[in-house]
Amino acid sequence: MKSVYFDNAATTPLREEVIHAISEVMRTNFGNPSSSHSFGRSSKALVEKSRKAIAQSLNVSAGEIIFTSGGTEADNLVLNSAVKDLSVTHIITTKIEHHAVLHTIQKLQKEYSITISYVDIKPSGQIDYSHLERLLQKNAKALVSLMHINNEIGSVLDIKQVANMCKLNNALFHSDAVQSIGHYNMDLQEIKVDFVAAAAHKFHGPKGVGFAFIRKNSGLLKPLIVGGEQERGLRAGTESVHNIVGMEKALLMANDNLEKEAQYIKELKSYFIDTMKAAIPNVTFNGSSNDFDKSTYTLVNVCLPIDPKKAAMLLFQLDLKGIACSKGSACQSGSSQKSHVLSEILSNEDLEKPSIRFSFSIFNTKEEVDYVVNVLKAFAQ
């Protein structure tokens, strides 16, 4: 059976060079970075080398990078501390954020009675910037939390514009950049965002490691996880040295090859869209996921003209054919509820049709696209 992996927005395969870097550290640097002997100092040196390299790739200082277990923890750290420690009483977000943000904010609202405002979303999946401007003018200590790239429909936030709007209105700005770090050049001296969350496994690095960027002078945050003084006291627990080094290797390789690899994936996505249109004329693309000016080049969200009863078996049938894709966020896998993202932008009629997210990487090919489209065409008939 053919095996095709088109679920790179959920996680990506590791590069061979990353596997080698991780394996080498596990063999030769097993010391606890907090230990004072030579084994510990050797591990600590690797952690700090990685921190410095990651910081340089974002044009920030090493002290502004805090290692976490991934994007979800980084989001939780920032949002919880913003309310508890920075006196934020108003959070401005959207209803299409990742649940790592939405569920955390809803929990904070119950515990601290903060105000939540949701920015209007256009059918294209883009935010209404004029509505955001109006929300920012409310007289409250505000934090804006908007993801850079939507993980289900790929809509791209003008992160620089939002950062400038927040500065003009004395609001803090947090962005879940899990889908963009490693896929876009991010100069955080030009983009005045206060907090960023990232996860290594989205750019061909290991799972279980990520980081939070916390801009100096944005406020004194306190740890979400306590019990040690690691990560400048902001994240207790022994650092996962091999994963941190693997993340560094993956990010540096992603950045070094960004232009060439992005062009390859753009051509692959364009080929997928054109081939789908030719094979299934009534196919539509959710949000603006087929628009390269408004959507990321790494994914497309397809709405298929298939009877809802037949569509219930679509993902199962694709899996039987060796095709890996998804209805949306992997974190919602197994849920019977419809996508909260698509529910904000689609009509009730279109919500009844099957929508599938296909996400691409440098390891995919046009031959794989042909195979997937032919399977979908046969199923749709």
Q: What integer pLDDT is reported at residue 77 of this predicted model?
A: 98
Q: How many helices (H) and strands (E) does the chain have?
A: 13, 12
Q: What integer pLDDT is reported at residue 139 of this predicted model?
A: 77
Q: What integer pLDDT is reported at residue 336 of this predicted model?
A: 55
Which residue(s) pair with 301 in the sheet?
A: 357
Find the helix packing angle between 258-279 and 241-256, rounded to 10°. Answer: 80
Assign a CATH topology to domain 16-256: Aspartate Aminotransferase; domain 2 (3.40.640)
Q: What integer pLDDT is reported at residue 229 of this predicted model?
A: 96
Which residue(s) pair with 16 in the sheet?
A: none
Extract the residue ranges of the chain whose pLDDT is less than 70.
Answer: 328-336
Beta strands in 14-94 (DSSP E): 65-68, 90-93
The Cα-based distances of 49 to 42, 45, 198, 216, 323 in angstroms read: 11, 6, 18, 20, 39
The Cα-based distances of 5 to 292, 326, 369 in angstroms read: 22, 10, 10
Q: Are 155 and 149 in contact (CB under 8 A)?
A: yes
- Which one-letter amino acid corresponds to residue 190? E
- Which one-letter amino acid corresponds to residue 188? L
Nearest CA to 289 out of 160, 179, 124 is that of 124
Domain edges within the chain: 4-12+258-380, 16-256
Tokens 């920075």, residue? Answer: 86
Exposure on the CB side of residue 266, measured as CA atoms within 13 A: 13
Residue 312 neighbours by CB distance under 10 Å:
11
Task: Give me 117's structure tokens.
Answer: 């405002």
Tokens 């899990």, residue? Answer: 178
pLDDT tens column, 224-262 = 999 999 999 999 999 999 999 999 999 999 999 999 999
Residue numbers annotated as active site: 331
Q: What integer pLDDT is reported at residue 63 of this predicted model?
A: 97
Q: How many angstroms separate the CA atoms of 42 and 20, rounded?
A: 18
Exposure on the CB side of residue 64, measured as CA atoms within 13 A: 23
Assign a CATH topology to domain 4-12+258-380: Aspartate Aminotransferase, domain 1 (3.90.1150)
pLDDT tens column, 307-344 = 878 888 898 999 999 999 998 655 545 455 789 999 99
Q: What integer pLDDT is reported at residue 309 of this predicted model?
A: 81
Q: What integer pLDDT is reported at residue 331 of this predicted model?
A: 53
The answer for residues whose C-beta is within 8 angstroms of residue 95's C-beta and 6 or more apart is 102, 118, 121, 340, 344
In this structure, the dihedral spanned by the alpha carbons of residues 54, 262, 11 and 102, taken in order and rounded to 10 degrees, is: 80
Nearest CA to 181 out of 78, 58, 67, 88 is that of 58
Task: Give me 75's structure tokens.
Answer: 């989001």
